[in-house]
Every structure is written in structure tokens, then in C-alpha cells.
Amino acid sequence: MSISLAAARKLCTKPEFNLVQHGTKQGMKQLTPARLRQKVTRARTLREKYRDLTKQQRGEARGKRQAKGARPAQSSDNTRKKAEIFDELLSRFQQQLELVEASQQEGQAQSAAAHAKTARPTDRAKRRKKKHESTEAIRHQKAMKRASEQKIHGHVSSAGRRNQARRDSR
């Protein structure tokens, strides 16, 4: 990292520093692809937050923006450093995610090829037949449900019409 962990510890809150720790080589080895995606999202959110805050504080320090608080910001140095931390962290997480997903796809392709060689043709045919039967059963259930809903709706509207006809005839 361009900024040391000790400096990051001073600048970041506890949850932010926890994210920074996951960005180290040791921390990234322990993350699954799903957790890496979460970390990418969190790092991107924090990077955007601190970029926007840096811009706001820089404007306040120059006197070109209204102060958000009781007094205008004097400088945006620490906020800018935090934005740099999370920008670098985001790129690290993205690179690791790309590596993990590429290796995962290679592994899936190899296991699928190995499985295709060992699977007997009759097993595949049985699986296809089961899948076809299950989709047919689901399709039939949905059709029956739609038909029963139409019947109920038809009944309800007819009942309303009959009641209105009785009231009109009085």
C-alpha cells in the first residue's frame, strides 16, 4: 500500500480499517468470490464518499462553498488520504476477484470435461427425461392455477352483477 497500515489505522474508523486489513495479501487469501464482491462494493462506496467529501472540504477551505458545519473546513488532507486508501484498496480487490473468478472458471471447465467423459450416455438421457417431466409437471400446475383463478374471478364478477340486478329490480 502507498499508505502504511499504521497510518491507515490512525485515519480510518474501526470498520473501515477492518476492510483495509482484508485488503492485505493474507486477508485476501481467505475471501471467497462472493465476499470479494462485497468488499469491492464497500471499497467503491467508501472511495466515492471520501472523494465527494474531499471536494466539499476543498471548496470550503477556499471559501467557494458554504460550510456544511458550524465552521468551514481548514484542509482536506486526511480525507484525500482516505480516498487514496480506498481507491487503491478497490483496485486490489478487483484484481483479486478477477484472478479468483478466472481460476474458478478453469476448474469448472476441467471438472465438466472430466465428468462428461465418465458419465454414461444413459445417465444423461435419464436426467434429460427427468428434467423434461419436471418442467411439464410445473407447467401443468401453473396452467391449473391460472384456470382456477379465472374461475374465481368470473364467479366474483357474476355475483356482483346478480346482486346489482336484484337491487335495480326493487
pLDDT at 140: 77
Q: How far apart are CA 53 and CA 62, in angstroms?
A: 14
Question: Any residues with CB less than 8 A from the CB of 39 and at least 6 apart, and which?
Answer: 19, 22, 23, 31, 93
With contact defined as beta carbons under 8 Å apart, do 51 and 83 qualify?
Answer: yes
Q: To which H or E segment does residue 124 belong?
A: helix 121-169
pLDDT at 127: 64
Q: How far apart are CA 7 and CA 78, in angstroms?
A: 10
Q: How far apart are CA 20 and CA 5, in angstroms?
A: 8
Give the residue ranges of the chain where pLDDT is below 70.
Answer: 1, 70-71, 115-133, 148-154
pLDDT at 161: 84
pLDDT at 122: 61
pLDDT at 149: 65
Prediction pTM value: 0.60
Q: How far apart are CA 101 and CA 91, in angstroms?
A: 15
pLDDT at 52: 92
pLDDT at 113: 73
Phi (first) and psi of residue 30, to 5 degrees:
-85, -10
Q: How far apart are CA 157 and CA 163, in angstroms?
A: 10
Q: With the C-alpha atoms ordered 106, 107, 112, 115, is the resulting torsion angle positive or negative? A: positive
